[in-house]
Amino acid sequence: MRRIKLKFAPGVETEFTDRDRALGQLVEWAEKSTRFPVVVFGPEGCGKSASLRQAAEALGEFGFDVVYVDAAHRDFAAYTDVAEVARRLLDAASDVSGLAQLKLAYLAVDLAKELIGRWGKKKVAVLVDEVFQAVGLDKAGIYVKSLLNLIEYPPRRYEKIVAIVVTSEGVAREEIGRHLWAELRPMWNTPREGFQQLYEKLPGPKPPFEEAWRWAGGNSRMLGRLYENGWDVEEVVLRLMREKELTAGFVVRWRRWLELAVEDLEALWAGGAPEELVKELEARNLIVYNMYDRRPNFWIDAPPPERDPELGIGKNVAWQTPIHREAVRRALERV
């Protein structure tokens, strides 16, 4: 399988690294089809989008007609001999009325349907990234249902179908989880060995791997940020504090719980934690709440460890990366 090239940081291009288990799971889906649309969620920057892009390439190699759309970034790719597909995707992406994202999101499903119905394609994949923001979180469930309809009531008989949706919206999980329309699958940061491969690919002087691991916890984007900022952890933490809007008001309001959480995040799981705070931490992509059982079958690629206090991973709740935890710790110190 050809590994795609990815822009990792300014001036650094890398090959899609590791994630061998995820690619193995993809091969299984290509052989068996996805019975339900697979909805992938996980920490920001863990590599969901990169993996989906790699999946598009791989499924193309396996002889699928592939429609891939990244709605939020108005990006798309088509692996098919039907020229019209790419043309219509380009039309939608170039829409200037402000509807490009919405159009791309729905077009992906329409095109997959047409590939089967109108063009008689037998192996079709539809891969969509960040569509829920485009269609609206309240319509996330309906969107996934339309993919299920395609799987269950195709306009013509097909042999294989693969439907995968990726989202970085922790809250989308609830809207989708309420229905039996999808297979929700979490993905975690890269396991140590794969992460080390990525780390080795970075040019220039760098701190020992242990340090990169301790701060980024296997998160590819955090590794990129550390690299871009000359491995200045302080700088990366301060930036994250700003992005997450960890304001004095927020910190003062939730101080008691936040203090407990930076020590041991499981405190938010063990009864009594305010739901509003949990929602807020989820919505800001600081934590993942309600982690699944670590059974490998529940996860895309390898599951995280059951517990890793150093990385901020608890049985039921986890910081997205140690830097996320550090940003909250710093915000507490400052106020």
Ligand X SMILES: Nc1ncnc2c1ncn2[C@@H]1O[C@H](COP(=O)(O)OP(=O)(O)OP(=O)(O)O)[C@@H](O)[C@H]1O
CB of 168 to Mg ion, least distance (A): 5
Radius of gyration of the chain (CA): 20
Quick check: 101 binds ligand X (CB under 6 A)? no
Among candidate residues 24, 244, 56, 72, the one with its CA nearest the CA of residue 172: 72
User: Segment contacting Mg ion (CB under 5 A): 15-23, 41-49, 237-245, 311-319?
Assistant: 41-49
Please give the span between the terminal C-alpha atoms of the chain, in angstroms, as a whole number.
51
CA 169-222-233 angle, 5° bins: 130
Residue 304 binding: pick among Mg ion, ligand X, none (C-beta 5-8 Å cut-off by kind): none
Using CB under 6 A, which of 38, 48, 158, 163 touches ligand X?
48
Q: How many CA atoms lie within 13 A of 324 on its CB side?
A: 26
Structure token pair of residue 307: 């517990």
Quick check: 49 binds ligand X (CB under 6 A)? yes
CB of 44 to Mg ion, least distance (A): 8
**Separation between Cα atoms, residue 103 and residue 296, nearest integer Å:** 35
Question: Residue 195: exposed, middle, or buried by beta-carbon count in 10 A (0-12, 13-18, 19+)?
Answer: buried
Residue numbers 152-211 binding ligand X by CB under 6 A: 168, 198
CB of 117 to ligand X, least distance (A): 31
**CB closer to Mg ion out of 33 and 133:** 133
Residue labelled with tokens 């309809």: 149
Q: How many CA atoms lie within 13 A of 272 on its CB side?
A: 7
Quick check: 286 binds ligand X (CB under 6 A)? no
**Separation between Cα atoms, residue 48 and residue 285, nearest integer Å:** 14
Using CB under 6 A, which of 88, 113, 160, 221 touches ligand X?
221
Quick check: 17 binds ligand X (CB under 6 A)? yes
DSSP 195-252: HHHHHHHS-S----HHHHHHHHTT-HHHHHHHHHTTT-HHHHHHHHHHHTT--HHHHH
Answer whether 228's CB lies under 8 Å from 317's CB. no
CB of 46 to Mg ion, least distance (A): 9
Residue 45 binding: pick among Mg ion, ligand X, none (C-beta 5-8 Å cut-off by kind): ligand X
CB of 69 to ligand X, least distance (A): 14
Quick check: 189 binds Mg ion (CB under 5 A)? no
**Separation between Cα atoms, residue 256 and residue 263, nearest integer Å:** 11
Among candidate residues 111, 134, 135, the one with its CA nearest the CA of residue 121: 111
Residue 221 binding: pick among ligand X, Mg ion, none (C-beta 5-8 Å cut-off by kind): ligand X
Residue 47 binding: pick among ligand X, Mg ion, none (C-beta 5-8 Å cut-off by kind): ligand X
CB of 48 to ligand X, least distance (A): 3
CB of 164 to Mg ion, least distance (A): 13
Residue 14 binding: pick among ligand X, Mg ion, none (C-beta 5-8 Å cut-off by kind): ligand X
**CB closer to ligand X out of 47 and 141:** 47
Quick check: 49 binds Mg ion (CB under 5 A)? yes
**CB closer to ligand X out of 17 and 321:** 17
Using CB under 6 A, which of 30, 46, 104, 300 touches ligand X?
46
| Interaction site with Mg ion (CB under 5 A) | 49
**Contacts with ligand X, residue ranges (CB under 6 A):** 6, 8, 14, 16-19, 44-50, 168, 198, 220-221, 224
